[in-house]
DNA sequence: CTACATTAATTGTATCTACATATATTTGCA
DNA sequence: TGCAAATATATGTAGATACAATTAATGTAG
């Protein structure tokens, strides 16, 4: 369905305005897809995001702040998300000896095992994007990157 | 910044995978923009969404279910959102005489006044999309609409 | 070397999503 | 007609975001 039918709005102020709503709506749809996929594994999207970041660090331990800057959603409360993952024994947290304010967080073997199980299902979500050519995909990626950099001159 | 720099991930599995992350990341960025804009008006994005929907109905009263299907985020708990708007006196809710299960919700004059104040600021967010031509914008809109319809044949 | 600012993480609170369950009303059918 | 199914909304609870405030450790200026 076109966005107009989805949210029963026959007309938008402009094509640009429609695009803003469409981005928010499609992202919400995508998140629900992810959520349903992760549910059987007792993981939420931000928790999954953290595990992916730790796996990407290839054994290197990361501080809480470092994880936060790498997350899809920057306003996540990483501290409490790590709490959850720690009780499931999928990550370890210990205080950094050099700077006792920081903590060093790493993924466990069990955490990696869960991630492996999820690689397939997550790939199948990505496959939904295959109808776009690589060239087109690059263009949309570039557009999104550009969009976020439009307001550098604004105070906010 | 490119997404790679934003989330400090030097490489993605594929351009399509990057696009998935980019959509989620950009939408999160966009939501925060909206949130900051709405804060001084004591409105949250879903509450604002509801007011917009009611204004769009041009005086026609809408049921709670009708509002939900028109929302950007379908999993909103509209009942409690309306509660909040009602205490601020920006919407009215009364039970529908024909079907006493339903409620009839409408925006008040004060609600409309708040919306008017917000039209300018919201337009300025839309302006960030102006660097894209209308043709390009249409293409991205079409792509998003298409994406959401890729999985019709999947069970889920 | 002490005092103050800075930094990293934790905790508290309000709001929201997600979803299951409950309640009230209406509809449909035997 | 009467009673079960369907429908519309409300409510309860867990997990998140958003952000302010707090705590603890480290840096730094005088």
Which pLDDT does position B153 carry in this prediction?
42
What CA–CA distance (Å, rounded) separates B37 from B44?
A: 9
Q: In whole angstroms, what is the distance from residue A9 CA to residue A19 CA?
A: 13
| A91 strand-pairing partners | A107
User: Which among B49, B38, B29 is positioned nearest to B118, based on CA atoms?
Assistant: B38
Give the whole-angstrom CA distance, residue A26 versus residue B19: 12
Separation CA A52–CA A65 (nearest Å): 16
Q: What is the pLDDT of residue A150?
A: 81
B65/B55 Cα distance (integer angstroms): 16
The pLDDT of residue B154 is 45
Identify the three-state secondary structure at position B138.
helix
Tell me how far CA of residue B109 lies from CA of B83, B116, B121, in angstroms: 17, 11, 20
Model confidence at A156, in pLDDT bands (50, 70, 90)?
A: very low
Query: Do the chains contact at A25 and B72, CB–CB below 8 Å?
Result: yes
Lookup: tokens for A89: 């024994």
At residue B11, the pLDDT reads 87
B80 is near strand D: CB distance < 7 Å: yes
Q: What pLDDT tens digit does each residue of chain B (156 aa) get?
A: 899 999 989 889 999 999 999 999 999 999 999 999 999 999 999 999 999 999 999 989 999 999 999 999 988 999 999 999 999 999 999 999 999 999 999 999 999 999 999 999 998 999 999 999 999 999 999 999 999 998 644 433
CB B83 within 8 A of CB B76: no
Q: How many CB pairs under 8 A join A and B?
A: 170
Residues A129, B147: C-beta atoms closer than 8 Å: yes
Which among B149, B21, B141, B101 is positioned nearest to A19, based on CA atoms? B141
pTM of the model: 0.93
């Amino acid at each position: 369905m076109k966005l107009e039918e989805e949210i029963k709005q026959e007309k938008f102020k402009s094509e640009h305005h429609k695009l803003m709503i469409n981005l928010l709506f499609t992202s919400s749809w995508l998140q629900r897809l992810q959520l349903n996929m992760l549910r059987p594994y007792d993981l939420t999207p931000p928790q999954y995001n953290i595990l992916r970041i730790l796996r990407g660090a290839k054994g290197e331990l990361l501080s809480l702040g470092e994880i936060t800057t790498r997350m899809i959603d920057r306003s996540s409360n990483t501290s409490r998300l790590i709490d959850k993952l720690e009780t499931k024994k999928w990550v370890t947290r210990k205080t950094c000896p050099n700077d006792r304010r920081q903590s060093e967080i790493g993924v466990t073997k069990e955490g990696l095992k869960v991630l492996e199980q999820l690689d397939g299902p997550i790939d199948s979500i990505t496959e939904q994007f295959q109808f776009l050519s690589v060239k087109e995909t690059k263009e949309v990626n570039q557009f999104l990157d550009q969009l976020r950099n439009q307001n550098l001159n604004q105070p906010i």
